[in-house]
């Protein structure tokens, strides 16, 4: 059995999503031959279409434009294929593809040609046509759309696909099984045997060549014959007895009673009803009242489980009806369950003898009924429509529009509990045949772009009839990818539903708790080919990201005057789809005030001998640059107990001395014009202290001072800050924190070896690295200037013409800072 969708399967029978094949009985004599052929092709009357296309191409080829001739040849070849005459189909496709290079919609003929060759056992030739099709398809897609930029990695290409595990169910047979629908704890689906001839509009029915509704009671007990992993590998399932089977000991389950009632309907929250129907663990006909001598299915159920909407041939229980063109179309019917039997079968008001209506799907609240139809006025071959239940009556159907419907065939709708639409279409750029698509809806209207589901849900064959939950964690769908039969697969999602993980970052001040705007966030993703990118927070301190699944990320958040923060985040093994959120506090660097420590005075230090019983603080005020005493410095000592201030001005030796009161804290400060004020704290002296004389030498920075930073080394030809250099730079960070109004020039120098221009560039990069390091510690960039001097300011005579030792060259390779301003 071949696919039941959009094609007569080989020489047997055809369903257009259960819009069944029928014999057309003539055409308007006024139509042109081409119009007649196209009409028969559209009506799926392929035998008649072949006759007219053959006559047209043989007798009137000069009357056709090149475009019309190509389209007619393509339709002729496709008609042979769908009618099952694969040898003639192969010849027709060969003539078509040899005559011209196909473009546009006709590219699909290469795919059909490849399928035909494969069916005829010509696999190498088939592969060539597949390759030809794929190249042209890719070229067409690239020409019509801009490349996708992955928002997480900045890499141009496709987002990481959602991973699914597929299970081929044991319920599948050599017949067709497709279009599953949730009912109670089980599944209702469509199944039928191969027909021995084309479908007749009048016949004995009751099975055989016809499709009926079947039911399996407990879908959780459905066994799988194959497991298809996300990577495409196939394995046999491990046979494990369920808890229920172990508890029952494998004995047959007794006939269910009203005490065994289960939830009805396709959504959570249905009501419980009596069993009523004949159930067993085996697959069985769903209902004798619904299954007739003609075709039934697909179906959908009202949420309470008491009402069903189902598809059937235009058959009223006594006779079949046809359109004016002799076609037996499809209609939608409703039925009500009473005492386990479906009764009161009625047509829906928008049915017609002249066009088909089928494939029903109800919203969770039962107010919206979606279906497929080829009624006049549509966008393509078959379109999706929605009708509203208004006070118990169905409104006039509304076409879902070009956002959903295409020039091809759009059918097999399903609505999840969130009101979102799944459907099948052959009118979009899919993988081949019918593919499954998803579209977000609000109140039955599309509100977002249509999404093509990733492989392995979709394949190069027909994939359709999907049912699932609101998070797409698992479900069922139909496909004919194995042996050409329509089968039902179960799927389980093994990764995030989306190609990227939604993450919101919020940055706020640790002290004020207020959001911080303009935070610069550098994002690094693990893996080859992942490009770093940068985003900036808004006024509310928020930034929203969409991160590649199954990867690790590092966020480095920086803002002027704040300490840089680094946070890691991983999307590995995340299968839930709830957006994540991180709250990140940033700190401003503290203002450092040194605390003077009590230490024993050295012997013969030049100070007068003091009474060891009196507490004192004394020291020398010196230049930070050269450690020489500074004259004229005002030294203040504030008693924190009573607020009293004492003051001394240093002489040529830079010395000062104060007596202290035990039990009080003090603030000691030294200031002078063009120097930075050096402030220190003195902790109160305890009675048990053995040393009561405090030595506190004070170093001061002056505008214009150039202070060398020791042990700032770089790897050869590099400017990255090494770990040993970072320890030394932390001392400068402390100095910048101690003097919050200090601005400096960070100066980097090289020795004279190498090119002078490159040396200046290298030194500038190293100076910038120092500035960036200090900025990461919360030092404002406004307080720093980076300057690379290269070899222009040597400390000795080691120029290019002078032979110097390595130590002499090392003296020139230095990093220093110059005080530009300070208070």
Same domain for 659 and 563 = no
- Is residue 523 over pLDDT 80? yes
Q: What would the mean pLDDT of 428-454 be, rounded to a whole number? A: 87
Task: Tell me whether residue 182 is in a domain.
Answer: yes
Of 326-335, 385-394, 606-615, give the lowest mean pLDDT range.
606-615
**In this predicted structure, what is the pLDDT of residue 138?**
58
Which residues have CB under 8 Å from 15's CB, separation 6+? 4, 5, 21, 211, 295
pLDDT in tens, 112-121: 887 788 777 7
For residue 331, the SS3 value is strand
Same domain for 282 and 228 = yes
Domain CATH for 109: 1.25.40.10
Same domain for 438 and 363 = yes
- Is residue 18 over pLDDT 50? no
User: Given pLDDT bands bounded at 50, 70 and 90, which one contains residue 533?
Assistant: confident
Task: Tell me whether residue 155 is in a domain.
Answer: no
Contact 766, 714 (CB under 8 A): yes
User: Residue 229 to residues 163, 164, 226, 488: CA-CA distances in angstroms?
Assistant: 9, 7, 10, 16
What's the mean per-residue pLDDT of the chain? 79
Q: Which of 658, 674, 700 is the last residue of a domain?
A: 700
Same domain for 226 and 359 = yes
- Is residue 6 over pLDDT 70? no
Rounded Cα gap, residues 297 and 279, in angstroms: 19
**In this predicted structure, what is the pLDDT of residue 159?**
54
H helices within 721-755, ranges in order?
723-738
Of 159-163, 349-353, 727-731, give the lowest mean pLDDT range.
159-163
Q: Exposed, middle or buried, 315 (CB in 10 Å: 0-12/13-18/19+)? A: buried
Task: Tell me whether residue 10 is in a domain.
Answer: no
Task: Tell me whether residue 526 is in a domain.
Answer: yes
Same domain for 635 and 557 = no
Same domain for 690 and 549 = no
Tokens linked to 763? 């030194």
Same domain for 600 and 558 = no
Q: Which of 700, 720, 744 is the last residue of a domain?
A: 700
Contact 105, 111 (CB under 8 A): no
Rounded Cα gap, residues 3 and 424, in angstroms: 13
**In this predicted structure, what is the pLDDT of residue 609?**
56
Other CB atoms closer than 10 Å to residue 290's CB: what's the count?
A: 21
- Is residue 13 over pLDDT 80? no
Task: Tell me whether residue 21 is in a domain.
Answer: no
Nearest-CA neighbor of 693 among 619, 600, 596, 595?
Answer: 600
**In this predicted structure, what is the pLDDT of residue 67?**
83
**In this predicted structure, what is the pLDDT of residue 607?**
64
Domain CATH for 582: 2.60.40.1120
Same domain for 361 and 336 = yes
For residue 761, the SS3 value is helix
User: Given pLDDT bands bounded at 50, 70 and 90, which one contains residue 573?
Assistant: low
Of 2-6, 28-32, 122-126, give the lowest mean pLDDT range.
2-6
For residue 771, the SS3 value is helix
- Is residue 384 over pLDDT 60? yes
Of 671-675, 693-697, 738-742, 761-765, give the lowest mean pLDDT range.
693-697
User: Residue 779 to residues 486, 506, 536, 703, 763: CA-CA distances in angstroms?
Assistant: 68, 22, 19, 19, 21
- Is residue 370 over pLDDT 90? yes
- Is residue 265 over pLDDT 80? no
Task: Tell me whether residue 5 is in a domain.
Answer: no
Same domain for 113 and 54 = yes
Contact 93, 76 (CB under 8 A): no
- Strands (DSSP E) contained in 34-135 are none
- Is residue 353 over pLDDT 60? yes
**In this predicted structure, what is the pLDDT of residue 577?**
65
Q: Exposed, middle or buried, 697 (CB in 10 Å: 0-12/13-18/19+)? A: middle
Which residues have CB under 8 Å from 352's CB, separation 6+? 329, 331, 375
This prediction has a pTM of 0.50
- Is residue 268 over pLDDT 90? no
User: Given pLDDT bands bounded at 50, 70 and 90, which one contains residue 153?
Assistant: very low
**In this predicted structure, what is the pLDDT of residue 709?**
85
- Strands (DSSP E) contained in 597-711 are 616-623, 634-639, 645-649, 655-659, 666-671, 678-682, 693-695, 698-700, 706-709
**In this predicted structure, what is the pLDDT of residue 199?**
23
Which residues have CB under 8 Å from 770's CB, separation 6+? 712, 721, 729, 746, 748, 786, 815
Rg (CA), the chain: 41
User: Given pLDDT bands bounded at 50, 70 and 90, which one contains residue 445?
Assistant: confident
Task: Tell me whether residue 152 is in a domain.
Answer: no
Same domain for 456 and 323 = yes
Same domain for 333 and 216 = yes
Q: What would the mean pLDDT of 696-708 be, rounded to a whole number? A: 89
Domain CATH for 207: 2.120.10.30
Rounded Cα gap, residues 567 and 520, in angstroms: 13
- Is residue 538 over pLDDT 90? no
Nearest-CA neighbor of 485 among 16, 9, 117, 6?
Answer: 9
**In this predicted structure, what is the pLDDT of residue 597?**
65
- Is residue 23 over pLDDT 50? no
Of 106-115, 427-436, 734-743, give the lowest mean pLDDT range.
106-115
Domain CATH for 815: 3.30.1330.60
% residues pLDDT > 90 (the chain): 32
Task: Tell me whether residue 158 is in a domain.
Answer: no
Q: What would the mean pLDDT of 394-418 be, rounded to a whole number? A: 93
Domain CATH for 691: 2.60.40.10
Of 190-194, 226-230, 302-306, 672-676, give the lowest mean pLDDT range.
190-194
Rounded Cα gap, residues 622 and 653, in angstroms: 9
Same domain for 463 and 408 = yes
pLDDT in tens, 249-258: 333 333 333 3
- Is residue 412 over pLDDT 90? yes
Tokens linked to 179? 């279009």
Domain that holds residue 138: 31-144
Number of structural domains, the chain? Answer: 5
Q: Which of 467, 493, 519 is the last residue of a domain?
A: 493
């Amino acid at each position: 059995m071949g696919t039941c969708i959009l094609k007569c399967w080989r020489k047997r029978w055809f369903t257009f999503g259960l819009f069944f094949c029928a014999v057309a009985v003539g055409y308007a004599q006024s139509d042109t031959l081409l119009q007649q052929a196209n009409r028969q092709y559209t009506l799926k009357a392929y035998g008649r279409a072949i006759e007219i296309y053959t006559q047209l191409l043989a007798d009137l080829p000069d009357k056709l434009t090149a475009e019309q001739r190509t389209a007619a040849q393509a339709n002729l070849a496709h008609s042979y294929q769908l009618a099952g005459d694969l040898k003639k189909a192969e010849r027709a496709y060969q003539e078509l593809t040899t005559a011209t290079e196909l473009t546009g919609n006709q590219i699909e003929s290469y795919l059909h040609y490849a399928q035909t060759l494969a069916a005829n056992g010509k696999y190498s030739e088939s592969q060539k046509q597949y390759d030809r099709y794929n190249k042209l398809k890719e070229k067409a897609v690239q020409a019509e759309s801009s490349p996708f930029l992955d928002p997480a990695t900045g890499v141009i290409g496709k987002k990481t696909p959602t991973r699914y595990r597929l299970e081929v169910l044991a319920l599948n047979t050599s017949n067709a099984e497709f279009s599953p629908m949730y009912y109670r704890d089980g599944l209702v689906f469509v199944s039928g045997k191969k027909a021995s001839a084309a479908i007749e509009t009048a016949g004995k029915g009751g099975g055989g060549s016809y499709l009926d509704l079947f039911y399996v009671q407990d879908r959780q007990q459905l066994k799988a014959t194959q497991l298809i992993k996300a990577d495409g590998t196939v394995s046999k399932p491990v046979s494990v007895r369920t808890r229920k089977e172990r508890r029952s000991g494998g004995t047959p389950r007794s006939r269910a009673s009203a005490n065994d009632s289960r939830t009805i309907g396709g959504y959570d929250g249905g009501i419980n009803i009596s069993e009523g129907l004949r159930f067993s663990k085996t697959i069985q006909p769903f209902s004798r009242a619904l299954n007739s001598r003609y075709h039934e299915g697909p179906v959908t159920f009202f949420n309470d489980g008491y009402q069903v909407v189902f598809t059937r041939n235009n058959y009223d229980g006594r006779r079949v009806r046809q359109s004016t063109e002799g076609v037996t179309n499809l209609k939608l019917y409703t039925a009500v369950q009473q005492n386990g039997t479906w009764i009161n079968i009625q047509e829906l008001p928008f049915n017609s003898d002249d066009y088909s209506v089928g494939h029903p799907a109800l919203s969770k609240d039962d107010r919206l009924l979606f279906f497929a139809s080829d009624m006049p006025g549509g966008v393509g071959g078959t379109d999706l429509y929605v009708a509203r239940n208004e006070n118990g009556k169905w409104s006039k159907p509304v076409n879902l529009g070009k956002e959903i419907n295409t020039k091809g065939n759009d059918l097999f709708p399903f609505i999840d509990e969130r009101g979102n639409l799944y459907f099948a279409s052959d009118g979009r750029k899919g993988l081949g045949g019918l593919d499954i698509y998803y579209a977000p809806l609000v109140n039955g209207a599309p509100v977002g772009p249509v999404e093509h589901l990733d492989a392995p849900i979709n394949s190069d064959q027909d994939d359709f009839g999907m049912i699932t939950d609101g998070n797409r964690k698992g479900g069922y769908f139909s496909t004919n990818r194995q042996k050409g039969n329509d089968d039902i697969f179960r799927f389980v999602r093994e990764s995030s539903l989306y190609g990227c993980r939604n993450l919101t970052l919020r940055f706020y001040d640790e002290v004020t708790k207020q959001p911080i705007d303009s935070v610069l966030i550098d994002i690094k993703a693990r893996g080859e080919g992942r490009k770093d990118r940068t985003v900036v927070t808004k006024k509310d301190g928020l930034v929203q990201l969409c991160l590649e699944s199954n990867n690790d990320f590092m966020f480095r958040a920086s803002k002027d005057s704040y300490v840089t923060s680094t946070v890691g985040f991983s999307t590995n093994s995340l299968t839930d789809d709830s957006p994540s959120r991180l709250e990140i506090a940033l700190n401003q660097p503290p203002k450092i005030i040194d605390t003077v420590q009590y230490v024993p005075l050295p012997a013969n230090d030049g100070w007068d001998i003091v009474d060891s019983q009196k507490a004192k603080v004394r020291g020398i005020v010196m230049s930070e640059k050269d450690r020489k005493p500074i004259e004229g410095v005002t030294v203040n000592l504030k008693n924190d107990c009573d607020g009293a201030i004492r003051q001394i001005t240093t002489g040529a030796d830079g010395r000062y001395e104060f007596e202290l009161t035990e039990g009080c804290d003090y603030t000691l400060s030294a200031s002078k014009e063009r120097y930075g004020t050096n402030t220190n704290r003195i902790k109160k002296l305890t009675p048990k202290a053995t040393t009561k004389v405090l030595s506190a030498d004070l170093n001061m920075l002056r505008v214009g001072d150039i202070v060398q930073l020791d042990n700032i080394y770089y790897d050869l030809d590099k400017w990255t800050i090494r770990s040993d250099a970072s320890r030394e730079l932390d001392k400068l960070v402390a100095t910048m924190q101690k003097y919050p109004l200090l601005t400096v020039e960070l100066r980097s120098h090289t020795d004279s070896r190498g090119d002078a221009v490159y040396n200046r560039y290298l030194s500038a990069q190293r100076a910038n690295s120092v500035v960036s390091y200090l900025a990461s510690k919360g030092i404002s960039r406004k307080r720093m200037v980076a300057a690379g001097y290269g070899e222009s300011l040597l400390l000795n005579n080691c120029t290019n013409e002078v032979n110097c030792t390595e130590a002499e060259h090392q003296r020139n390779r230095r990093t220093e800072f110059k005080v530009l301003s300070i208070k």
